Amino acid sequence: MLNSGSGDTISEDRIEKIARKYAVKNALDYGKAKIGNVINKLFSEVRPSGETGAEKIREIVEEVVSEVNSLSREELEREAANYVYAEREERTGLPKLDWATESTKINTRFAPNPSGFLHIGHAKVAILCDEYSKMYSGSFFVRFEDTDPKTKPPIPEAYKAIIDDLNWLECGISGIFRQSERMELYYRYAKELIHDGHAYVCTCIPEVMKRNRADGRECACRTNSPAANMEMWERMLSSYKEGEAVLRLKTDMEHPNPSVRDWIMMRVIEAEHPITKGKYRAWPLYNFASAIDDHEMEINLVIRGIEHEVNGVKQAYLYSAIGAKQPHTIEVGVLKVKGTLSHKSDIIKAIKSGELSGWDDPRTPTVAGFRNKGVPPKAIRDYVIGSGIGKNPSYLDMAKLSALGRKIGGTGV
């Protein structure tokens, strides 16, 4: 028996079992288990202490690690599937929001691009948003970001497929919106911003614009009057061709990050949209449409991928120009799946070539693919919630997902 430090004694047998569990995980994560890593994990679970105890523990761990390192990957995976790791088991929910009280209603939104089906990484964000709105009795909206008919053309079937996936993931959807159907709203804000001198139409050729932004130099368009800008804005809606004019927000031309300097809110795209067809030619970019919608929809918590970190900085200028409060924002680390295609364009190519049978092929990292593999939705939810809201990227741990699936009676992966 060993002293646990909290007054309990722990049998050597139990120490060995816990060490083995972490050694298997460590070997799967890094190729070989390391004694130090296993000891740290073990101590975080049982906190044993005392001179003699520590020595004995090291001895046990050394033996376990050497045994585990002789197993094949297949054997490791099989064994890991039987464990549910402590950090997942212990956490019962997401951390509380320190700025919210028990009675604050938390309204969140999930904003997918319907240019592909739902990847498990997107599902992570959706589940976190849904879970927070449930924890704080607020709303969870789905808002399709479909205002780029050229570089991210919406796939008509994707709108329904994404909603089906979210319903399958047990998300409680309070409302569904499509940005392509909210264009008049963006036009209204664009006009107000021009009128108030916060936005201007820039007709510099893209190379000049790029150079000016890089050098922090203002162009002549920036000093045009609101009346002149209004007239040019009308031309963006009627006659300017693609690339001839953009609407820019006045931010700070000396901002240390050049991409923040007078970022573009709207541009002309002459491509047909599957829903609105040829009705609109001036389309909002992500930062503009997203911030306006978050404000209009009274979203008070935004959760999105870490790649959007700088967008929070850009949007702060827009919130200040319209006199609104920027919602609390959490940027979370990307969840990737090893050994599968992760880019939409690669998946589309593989489907076209017949290499994959479709977006729901069990070999794709889409939610539909996981459904077809037999993974229960609750296992995915538990996995995501258990992983929390950290910023570090991670690879989906199949063994853990499988263990969670088995625990609730699914077939696992």
Helix axes 12-30, 51-68, angle to 10 degrees: 50
Whether the Cβ atoms of residue 310 and residue 369 lie closer than 8 Å to each other = no
- When CB distances to ligand GLU are compared, the closest residue is 304
Nearest CA to 136 among 164, 116, 107? 107
The residue (of 290 and 366) whose beta carbon lies closer to ligand GLU is: 290
The residue (of 115 and 203) whose beta carbon lies closer to ligand GLU is: 115
| Shortest distance (Å) from residue 290 CB to ligand GLU | 5
Instruction: Point out which residues bind ligand GLU (CB under 6 A).
Output: 111-113, 145, 290, 304-305, 308
| Shortest distance (Å) from residue 313 CB to ligand GLU | 13
Q: What secondary structure, in 3-state letters, does 110-164 show?
A: ECCCCCCCCEHHHHHHHHHHHHHHHHCCCCEEEEECCCCCCCCCCCHHHHHHHHH
| Shortest distance (Å) from residue 145 CB to ligand GLU | 4
The residue (of 33 and 265) whose beta carbon lies closer to ligand GLU is: 265
Nearest CA to 280 among 268, 289, 292? 268
The residue (of 111 and 368) whose beta carbon lies closer to ligand GLU is: 111
Whether the Cβ atoms of residue 24 and residue 82 lie closer than 8 Å to each other = no
Residue type, 190: A
The residue (of 46 and 302) whose beta carbon lies closer to ligand GLU is: 302
The residue (of 113 and 212) whose beta carbon lies closer to ligand GLU is: 113
| Shortest distance (Å) from residue 165 CB to ligand GLU | 14
Specify the 3-state DSSP secondary structure of 215.
helix
Whether the Cβ atoms of residue 4 and residue 43 lie closer than 8 Å to each other = no
Alpha carbon 41 to its chain centroid, in Å, reads: 28
d(CA 95, CA 404): 20
| Shortest distance (Å) from residue 111 CB to ligand GLU | 4
Strand bridging mode 9-10 / 140-144 = unpaired
Whether the Cβ atoms of residue 47 and residue 6 lie closer than 8 Å to each other = yes
| Shortest distance (Å) from residue 152 CB to ligand GLU | 9
The residue (of 130 and 145) whose beta carbon lies closer to ligand GLU is: 145
The residue (of 111 and 356) whose beta carbon lies closer to ligand GLU is: 111
| Shortest distance (Å) from residue 311 CB to ligand GLU | 7
Specify the 3-state DSSP secondary structure of 196.
coil
| Shortest distance (Å) from residue 382 CB to ligand GLU | 23
Whether the Cβ atoms of residue 399 and residue 373 lie closer than 8 Å to each other = no
